[in-house]
Amino acid sequence: MSARSNRRAWLSGAASAAMLLAASAASAQPAASSAAANAARDPRAAAVVERMAETLVAAQALRVEGDIAWDVVQADGQTLEFGATRELVLRRPDRLRADLVLREGGERRLFYDGRQVVLHDPVHGVYAAIERSGPVGEVAAFVAERLGIPIALAELLSPDLAALLSEKIDAAHYVATETLDGVACDHVALRGAAGGMQLWVGTKDALPRRISITYEHEEGRPQFRARFADWDLSPRVPDATFVFDPPAGAEKIAFAVHGAPAPKEGPR
């Protein structure tokens, strides 16, 4: 399969945005469902997802702010919403910074400077660092899988993402053109075994504006929602943004690492 067709296949799996789909716990989707899934993938919806992916891939650096929220169904059946704001700065190939501020207070900051991953909790005055190098996507997978830090859907960073998505996505549909915060967006609905996801992608800039995931099989059908704003695909980002400088008095602690020690890996 050519790189182009490979990309097409990947995207036709409702893809990069569908980055948010997949990896259902029901990982053993019947193979027969693939044919049905292909039939249920609206080309217009796939095109929206593809264009969004191309836009993100083309950006050598980016900065985005946003708000995330998640429902938690309480014991008495009431659904409460919790959330956080965050800022993400990415510079390819191996720089990342993500700051999170919870609505209830509390902060955490993730740094990756191409040499180490640092998680800093300024509220508790602690940080942990672990040596790591390589492309940010691979490091993100390490953070999720070995450090157990929940990078949602990190499994989608797998090199086998195309096959994974192809198996997991049952349907992709174009819903409508809608306006969010004054921005015209393509509203796309994707569906997998665990539930449904909606994407709102800017019709002009092809950037994701909003994501909503509904856990249809969970009690109370809770949702996860993310709203992206202030996209900047050409930010001026100094190196210091990605480098952690321990504050005075901060206590260095360790990461618990899942599994056996990994061989030291250099840049790939």
Partner 1 sequence: MSRPTLRRARALAAFVALAFVFAGVADAQRRGGGGGGRSGGGGFERSGPAAHGSFSGGGGAARHSGEGRAAMQQRASGSARQGQAAQQRGTNQATRQQSASGAQQSRQSQQDANREDWQQQQGAMQEDRQQQQKDMQEDRQDAWDDAADDYHGGVYYGGNVHVYDSGDVAAATAIAVGTAVTVGAMQRMTTPTASAPAPCAMNSVVVGDATYYHCAPNWYQKAYVNGELSYVSVAPPPGF
Q: State the binding string over 82-121 for partner 1 (x if CB under 8 A, else -).
A: xxx-x-x-x-xx--x-x-x-x-xxx-x-x-----x--x-x
Contact between 29 and partner 1 by CB under 8 A: the answer reads: no
Kindly indicate which of the ranges 32-40, 124-132, 171-179, 180-188 contains the residues binding partner 1, using the contact rule CB under 8 A.
124-132
User: CB–CB of 244/118 below 8 Å?
Assistant: yes
CA 262 centroid distance within chain:
24
Angstrom CA distances, 74 to 59, 81, 116, 268, stand at 41, 10, 39, 46
Choose which of 45, 172, 189, 197 interacts with partner 1 (CB under 8 A): 197
Interactions with partner 1, residue window 131-190 (CB under 8 A)? 131, 135-138, 140-141, 143-144, 147-157, 159, 161, 168
* Spatial CA neighbour of 228 closest among 210, 244, 216, 243: 210
* Smallest distance, partner 1 to C-beta of residue 141, A: 8
Choose which of 72, 181, 246, 267 interacts with partner 1 (CB under 8 A): 72
Choose which of 40, 73, 175, 250 interacts with partner 1 (CB under 8 A): 73
* Smallest distance, partner 1 to C-beta of residue 153, A: 5
Q: Closer to partner 1 by CB, 48 or 141: give it.
A: 141
Q: Closer to partner 1 by CB, 183 or 233: give it.
A: 233
Q: Closer to partner 1 by CB, 166 or 223: give it.
A: 223
Report the amino acid identity of residue 228: F
Kindly indicate which of the ranges 14-22, 36-44, 179-187, 235-243 contains the residues binding partner 1, using the contact rule CB under 8 A.
14-22
Residue with tokens 């790939």: 268
Residue with tokens 């969004």: 52
Evaluate the omega torsion of the peptide bond into residue 246 and state whether it is cis, within 30 degrees of 0.
no
Interactions with partner 1, residue window 216-235 (CB under 8 A)? 217-219, 222-224, 226, 228
Kindly indicate which of the ranges 5-13, 35-43, 178-186, 235-243 contains the residues binding partner 1, using the contact rule CB under 8 A.
5-13
Contact between 31 and partner 1 by CB under 8 A: the answer reads: no
Task: Sheet containing 169-180: give its strands across.
Answer: 126-131, 116-121, 107-112, 95-102, 79-91, 61-73, 223-232, 208-215, 195-202, 183-192, 169-180
Residue with tokens 């306006």: 179
Whole-angstrom distance, CA of residue 190 vs CA of residue 213: 9
Report the amino acid identity of residue 223: Q
Contact between 239 and partner 1 by CB under 8 A: the answer reads: no
Q: At what angle do helices 3-12 and 161-168 cross, to 10 degrees?
A: 30
